[in-house]
Structure 1
């Protein structure tokens, strides 16, 4: 499968590409200085004077002095230029950090779960790639073309076929895979070369920026700068993390001195020494994105203690996740914090002093954080049986409820990756919520009025959140509430039920492998349309795997629970001839009323799950399919036509005929 299929997703994820007005020489000169090359201008002049590939008289790189209508003839030419410059780079007292390899004549496969031998047919082909030099890291390691070894990637184009955004999206395909296979990567710089110019692109957890193009015939030192950056600069200057080392199949990750350690009584103290965590090669969780939090989790050992290490990039200005976990310490169904270190470095610091174009700024600055949690087996799918999974799922929902009622904390980012399975947790603790980095105090959140913000992982966002979230002219849908998170729990269970095929599964199949659920990860509009189809149709349009046979009945019960809610959202979203647009009923409620309604909703949602667990134990799941039907029809608890109602059921539910007509229209 070609990497072209990733471009729409990356376009939606990265948003607009920000242009830096800094001179390319300034950008690369700063990186060279950080990478150990002092006075880079003088350094480059010496190299250029010894390099015979450039004609000062004609002011051009001689091998590029011609007309080129396509990229292939340029590949070997740039290969010779890089080799010529490399031959004259001063190497006394300095090891080459990178090795340039041509990749234009082969494909590099995307390993979505590095280290687990997961097959994938997704592949891409950067024109050149720089790999870690064998003398630099591991003399016994073969230099093979793989994204897990990549330092930088670059593509070759012709002047007549360049597009700033399209070229950037192509580089983003490669860089996304670098972030996946190098989970501690802080940023990646990449290049587009043509026969006359080069442009620098930077990718980090805040998105993508690019430089203005520069003519390297008129400014020959820039080509020396670029080649020296690719081959000579140290790890820190190219975005690798100096506090994490991967050797002999194991990770060593360091929490700096001064990190906070939480004792059994809940008291915090600062460590006087760095904490070094040793972990296996395979992260428990990693995000398949560039922009965002980039959450990665490892099982690890510090001395004789085991735990779960989480590394992520929190948006600057967001409340501290560590503070929320300290506050919620001891609540059943929620992860237990052992240590943390926040504000290690910011994206704005990594980008350095930058001048952006008029009106263009860093979209969201982010800061790197590390948390140490109690150890858990892994995601919810590590449960040994379907029943154990449902019990853990119910415990996590109850933990979500406890957070709201005990501390007025709303999670706002429920997904399959944020519900952990803990077999040793005891009663009420088999399922644990983690990742509270988007959590909010509802005392403040619910006082913000009518605006709806797009929080959480898109694939699991509620229909309400997907409708006009962050719109400059927001609809009166109201802020994120408990029903949005309960809907996200439902989508997480859908994902698991229709894609996981056995017990104790550490790797949840990716949504892009499912014909319908793949739309959840594209645009908000795609996700909203598909979710409305699942929620509103008279019959459930999902079929569970054989392992979860019968879960259709539970999914059907839960989706019907949301019908009044979806009806209210639709009343606001769909234009009508009414003189005034309706508003969500919750906007008229006080805090006390909101909590009263929330208690009713949790009772009904958890009750549906509990009732199904009892029936599942008896082998009566209530699932049935009419003759000739292609979609599952579930018999719900207490009768085929019973519809569990949420607390927002003050608007009549549309009949099935009207639902069918609306979908067809």
Structure 2
């Protein structure tokens, strides 16, 4: 097996649908390293259970569309011989004859039909406002418990076919004029991505590319893509028949669907559904879906691809959340860390889990010969207690501060039990349920990136969500020996979450245009993001419009936490330059003050929450606050805590290294907006920003 980068060739101008060219770039980062199979052993081994060889032989001998004597399907040999330049009808006839011959009697899985869609716009489901579409040459239209008619806008014309009722896509190209492999793969990826989005119980997607002489199969799953070499399907009609039957199989497992999630279809649409999983005592339990659509769906092909469902307990009718995700096989299951949080307020509560439902290496039928470059992923299902709305849905300043305060308190308790989150973000903090008691007014969720703190894992810029990453995490790609990820990194992320909300919303929850500072924090250029955060930490006031949108206790809270974060960051940046031999465990001094650090932050929140209940004490906007004064621990002359042991000899200069990593070498995937492929974006211009100190962060020694 060989691998090739999806960036290896510039897309060619040839396109059967010009609108696809505008979409290609958005898929490049999703595909990663494509695995090119060296022979057709795999493709010839698929779907043997659907048609035994004697049955295929009988069909080939009797078929009017296959010549047993010439060993050839009755398809045009050249484009010039096509009737009215119609390349598609001959293939429709051949594929339809195969389905008709091997069609099973009526099954609960529904029907399959070959449909010519080369002139049909299949609309895409995207978050942006651009109305993308694509035109696969042929599709296998499907009916059954996982398929429904495409949704239309109110008053819109009914659509009979779309990605929500397609089992597989097939591209047909003229022999000798077919697209490059890169373009074939990108077109297939566009179809696959839409099938994953519109069929949220998809585990894999297979796309067939045909010419008059050859076929190639693309397989997409949460580890990326692999593809076969060309196979002459005239010389091997048995494999061709089995592939057609496999892509149109009435068994949902064959076509890549997870049958543990099923829907009841009424008038072509999903009316209700069920989800089957294991209970806490490892017995099968069937939950009713509270909504037919997922609460959350990450649309990327490769990566965790998290999907969340709202379900109802069959006994208590309590709302629960089921989270399906594909974790890296190198990582522990999320439920291990959630078990530490059972009974802790401010942390999402675990109900049950299935840690190993399926692996992508098995979907690809590798057997024991897994290619070295393959990044295996494991399907994991976790059932949790339902919480409230995302924190960005707050409606008052007090509700916001209470939610953050309780989530931080939950983070502290979980840290005391040995777990550290590592991905604090606006997506991973929820409001408590309406009327929640203190301690449960905010809830920390999503422990996919969590670790046990005794692992002493170093800061890693691949881990977390860019906008909220700490400065030492952002700097980890530029130092040879990054500090361990500790509680201070996550407290800093909570601070950036608070700042993000204060700058992007007002105190009643109305959103405002994003500030340029936030855009820099979210930059793919790690140095720019870190420098922008360092510059913000030097501010002793907030912009005028921010102070006018928020009551003074919230402004004072931001400024007070700023002082704390600035002191911690300066000390950590100094230590970050040292080798472990020179540090001699000095970083443990900061890490040992866990109780003091959490207590200080929680007291600042409590003070602000109390002040919000006394509007008469609020100061007018843009007046001086004593919260802006620097309150730091005792420090030595170089800025490090006085309790740090002093190095006895001259400190060697830090080793110079970029510590660049391959694009596919990160432990888990997230959308490009959250992660970049290198510590510094080539060609990016670093904007000089003021620093909090003019002297070097490395102590000078004599």
Q: Same fold (TM over 0.5)?
A: yes
| Counterpart in the other structure of 1:479 | 484
Question: Is the partner of 2:423 in helix, strand or coil?
Answer: coil
Kept in 2: contact 1:186–1:240 (CA 8 A): yes
| Counterpart in the other structure of 1:454 | 462
Give distance in 2, aligned partners of 1:106 and 1:571. Answer: 61
| Counterpart in the other structure of 2:626 | 638
> Displacement, 1:235?
0.7
The two structures have a TM-score, normalised by structure 1, of 0.74
Give distance in 2, aligned partners of 1:239 and 1:188. Answer: 6
| Counterpart in the other structure of 2:292 | 281
Give distance in 2, aligned partners of 1:548 and 1:28. Answer: 65
> Displacement, 1:393?
1.9
The two structures have a TM-score, normalised by structure 2, of 0.71
Structure 1 residues 342 and 87 mapped into 2: Cα distance closer, same or farther (>3 Å)? same
> Displacement, 1:379?
2.1
1:489 aligns with 2:488: no
Select the residue among 427, 434, 438 that pairs with 1:417.
427
1:203 aligns with 2:215: no
Give distance in 2, aligned partners of 1:251 and 1:157. Answer: 39
> Displacement, 1:62?
5.8
| Counterpart in the other structure of 1:430 | 441
Give distance in 2, aligned partners of 1:241 and 1:388. Answer: 39
| Counterpart in the other structure of 2:35 | 18
Give distance in 2, aligned partners of 1:286 and 1:609. Answer: 33
> Displacement, 1:425?
3.4
> How is 1:37-436 mapped onto 2 (pairs within 5 angstroms)?
37-39=50-52, 41-52=53-64, 63-66=75-78, 76-89=86-99, 90-94=101-105, 97-112=111-126, 120-128=129-137, 130=139, 132-134=141-143, 144-157=160-173, 159=176, 162-194=179-211, 196-247=213-264, 248-256=270-278, 259-260=279-280, 269-271=281-283, 273-303=284-314, 304-306=316-318, 307-353=320-366, 360-366=372-378, 368-405=379-416, 407-423=417-433, 424-436=435-447
Q: After superposing the two structures, state which structure 1 stretch, 428-437 or 414-423, moved more.
A: 414-423
> Displacement, 1:249?
2.6
Structure 1 residues 277 and 172 mapped into 2: Cα distance closer, same or farther (>3 Å)? same
Give distance in 2, aligned partners of 1:496 and 1:385. Answer: 12
Structure 1 residues 496 and 475 mapped into 2: Cα distance closer, same or farther (>3 Å)? same
Structure 1 residues 156 and 139 mapped into 2: Cα distance closer, same or farther (>3 Å)? closer
Give distance in 1, aligned partners of 2:586 and 2:346. Answer: 27
Per-residue displacement from partner, 1:59-82 (whole Å, max 9, x unpaired)? 7666442259xxxx98x4134303
> Displacement, 1:11?
3.1
| Counterpart in the other structure of 1:578 | none
Kept in 1: contact 2:248–2:255 (CA 8 A): no
Structure 1 residues 592 and 85 mapped into 2: Cα distance closer, same or farther (>3 Å)? closer
Per-residue displacement from partner, 1:125-159 (whole Å, max 9, x unpaired)? 14146355347778999873333333223444565
Structure 1 residues 428 and 11 mapped into 2: Cα distance closer, same or farther (>3 Å)? same
Question: Is the partner of 2:188 in helix, strand or coil?
Answer: helix
1:30 aligns with 2:35: no
Give distance in 2, aligned partners of 1:186 and 1:545. Answer: 49
> Displacement, 1:186?
1.3
In the alignment, structure 2 segments of 5+ residues that lack a partner are 1-17, 151-157, 265-269, 641-687, 696-702
> Displacement, 1:420?
2.2
> Displacement, 1:123?
1.8
Question: Is the partner of 2:414 in helix, strand or coil?
Answer: helix
Q: Aligned Cα RMSD in Å?
A: 4.8
Give distance in 1, aligned partners of 2:25 and 2:233. Answer: 32
Give distance in 2, aligned partners of 1:182 and 1:621. Answer: 53
Give distance in 2, aligned partners of 1:397 and 1:67. Answer: 67
Per-residue displacement from partner, 1:355-400 (whole Å, max 9, x unpaired)? 879x54431331x232222222332234343431231122112211
Kept in 2: contact 1:410–1:442 (CA 8 A): yes
Per-residue displacement from partner, 1:263-317 (whole Å, max 9, x unpaired)? xxxxxx343x433343212322222322222222222112233122222233335
Kept in 1: contact 2:296–2:308 (CA 8 A): yes
Kept in 1: contact 2:559–2:627 (CA 8 A): no
Give distance in 2, aligned partners of 1:322 and 1:339. Answer: 8
> Displacement, 1:554?
6.3
Kept in 2: contact 1:298–1:310 (CA 8 A): yes
1:593 aligns with 2:583: no
In the alignment, structure 1 segments of 5+ residues that lack a partner are 114-118, 261-268, 574-580, 625-634
Q: After superposing the two structures, state which structure 1 stretch, 475-484 or 325-334, moved more.
A: 475-484
Aligned length: 604
| Counterpart in the other structure of 1:529 | 528
Structure 1 residues 597 and 255 mapped into 2: Cα distance closer, same or farther (>3 Å)? same
Structure 1 residues 132 and 92 mapped into 2: Cα distance closer, same or farther (>3 Å)? closer
> Displacement, 1:334?
0.6
> Displacement, 1:493?
4.5
> How is 1:513-552 mapped onto 2 (pairs within 5 angstroms)?
525-526=524-525, 529-530=528-529, 532-533=531-532, 535-536=534-535
Structure 1 residues 502 and 168 mapped into 2: Cα distance closer, same or farther (>3 Å)? farther
**Higher radius of gyration, 1 or 2:** 2
Answer 1 or 2: which has greater helix percent: 1
Give distance in 1, aligned partners of 2:515 and 2:140. Answer: 34
Give distance in 1, aligned partners of 2:191 and 2:544. Answer: 33
